[in-house]
Amino acid sequence: MEACIGVEQDLDKAISKFTSLNDHTDKVLHDIVEQVENLKKEIAKQPANTPLSQTQAMVVSELAARVKKTVFQMSTEHRELHATVSKVGKTIDRHFIVDYGSVAPRAESFCCDENRPIMEQAIAQHLYRQGLEDVGDSLVAEARIPAVERTCTFALLQRCAAALAEGDPTPALQWVEERGQELAHSPLPFTLHRMQALKLAREVGVVAAIEYARAQFPAHAARHERQLQAAVCALAWCTPDAPPAPPHYAHLLDPAALGAEAAELFIRESCALLRLAPLSPLAGGVLAGARVIPALHDIRTKMAHPHVIAAWGDDELPLEVDLGEDGGGYHSVFACPILRQQASEQNPPMRLLCGHVISRDALNKLAMGAKLKCPYCPMEQAPAEARQIYFS
Ligand SMILES: [Zn+2]
């Protein structure tokens, strides 16, 4: 964060210098153009083919000299601006790690013949998921990427979320209405109807909003009583001559905040309903990577000793990294909750009769002859009844 602030300070300096130079240059150029225009008009007043008088010739040559001087000054000032801009680049280099090569010694494996098509597919899939079909199509055609699912459900969700963020709940409401039954326990329908009612109040009038609320809100009254009351009260501050609203209604009366919140909720709820990951594999990978790399870089610099460096495995991170709330749902491998080891082909995850899953090593350790008691519940079973599970 400190690094970002450091860069931001220099960037602010560069931007303010740029703006003031821009304003100054505009003014100077405007003045010069005006002077030249005036002189032109003056000379045009004379009959054609009249030679310039000595005073006029002097005025012209003076103005020419002034234009030359101004252009020279402007180019000097412009050069000085370059120094400020390149300082931002240097500050970025100073505050951020430039080379992550040591952390990912096998980064080139992304480009090998085997992995390159997978990377390209992930990029195309990401573009389609973001609703950027045109860009995705161009990439698929130019890079000749095979087998990418184009009509992606996520793209539709993304379009609904984008409309919400821009303050339009209509596409999302339509999507929700088609799935009323499945979303009966979700806060999403009420959130969208509330947004629509407040939008109507702003754009059409409070009467229209109240009519909409009367039609839509009763179905949600039991689950969202307090929020519903607040939304109806907020309508009172939507009339043109209403006094300023009390601060606790500020959020409801801020269309941008309401839209952003609804968009986030929409993606979360719709992905949960359709069992889709809220991020594409590429976005998930980038998010996880961004969280992991600083920690890896730190540990790498501390692990310079050759013996220690040997512990740096090729396919396993040397430390556990918390991916936070938005990245926390990803597990590339199963980790045994008993032995705290990652599962492998030799030690795969095993599902017990009760549904709990432990690694085979843990199962063998816990088995007492033909009996095994689940470490998580009271169920007893035979070790042979456990089934290996596979993640695809
Ligand atoms: Zn159990």
Q: Which residue has the higher pLDDT, 76 or 241?
A: 76
Record the tokens describing residue 283, joined without a space: 């976005």
The three state secondary structure string of 31-92 is HHHHHHHHHHHHHHCCCCCCCCCHHHHHHHHHHHHHHHHHHHHHHHHHHHHHHHHHHHHHHH
Residues 138-158, mean pLDDT to the nearest whole number: 79
Average pLDDT over every residue of 328-353:
79
Instruction: Check: CB of residue 216 under 8 Å from CB of residue 193.
Output: yes
Tell me the pLDDT tens digit for each residue of 86-100: 888 888 888 877 677
In the chain, the amino acid numbered 276 is L
How deeply is 286 buried, as exposed, middle or buried, from its count of CB atoms within 10 A (0-12, 13-18, 19+)?
middle
The Å distance, Cα 345 to ligand 1 centre, comes to 23
Q: What is the CATH number of the domain that holds 367?
A: 3.30.40.10
Q: Are residues 197 and 264 in the same domain?
A: yes
Mean pLDDT, residues 155-166 taken together: 87
Does residue 157 form part of some domain? yes
pLDDT score, position 105 = 60
Lowest average pLDDT, out of 63-72, 272-281, 361-370, goes to 272-281
* 96 Cβ contact partners less than 8 Å away, ≥ 6 residues apart: 3, 7
Q: Is the residue at 102 inside a domain?
A: no
Last residue of a domain, one of 95, 130, 162: 95
283 found inside a domain: no
Instruction: Check whether residue 90 and residue 167 sit in a common domain.
Output: no
pLDDT band at residue 302 under the 50/70/90 scheme: confident
pLDDT over 70 for what percent of the chain?
A: 89
What is the mean pLDDT of the segment spanning 117-128?
Answer: 87
| Structure letter (DSSP) for residue 245 | P
* Ligand 1 centre distance from Cα of residue 277 (Å): 27
Residue 352 within a domain: yes
**Same domain, residue pair 159 and 269:** yes
Flag the least confident range among 42-56, 282-296, 322-336.
322-336
pLDDT at site 143: 85
Query: Do residue 177 and residue 269 come from a single domain?
Result: yes
270 and 347 within one domain? no
Q: Give the tens place of pLDDT for each residue, 17-40.
A: 999 999 999 999 999 999 999 988
Structurally, how many domains does the chain consist of?
A: 3
Least confident of 14-18, 174-178, 286-290: 286-290
Domain boundary among 95, 114, 145: 95
d(CA 375, ligand 1 centre) in Å: 6
Within a domain: residue 181? yes
Report yes or no on 298 lying in a domain.
no
293 C-alpha to center of ligand 1: Å? Answer: 37
| pLDDT of 310 | 63
257 and 189 within one domain: yes
Domain extent, residue 182, equals 153-274
Range 198-203 average pLDDT: 87
pLDDT tens string 362-390:
999 998 888 889 999 988 899 889 999 88
Ligand 1: centre distance to CA 352 (Å): 7
Distance 355 CA to ligand 1 centre (A): 6
Alpha helices in the chain (DSSP H): 2-44, 54-95, 116-129, 133-143, 153-165, 170-177, 188-203, 206-216, 225-235, 255-274, 281-302, 306-309, 324-327, 360-366
Is residue 309 in some structural domain?
no
**Is residue 339 pLDDT above 90, yes or no?**
no
Mean pLDDT of 179-201: 87
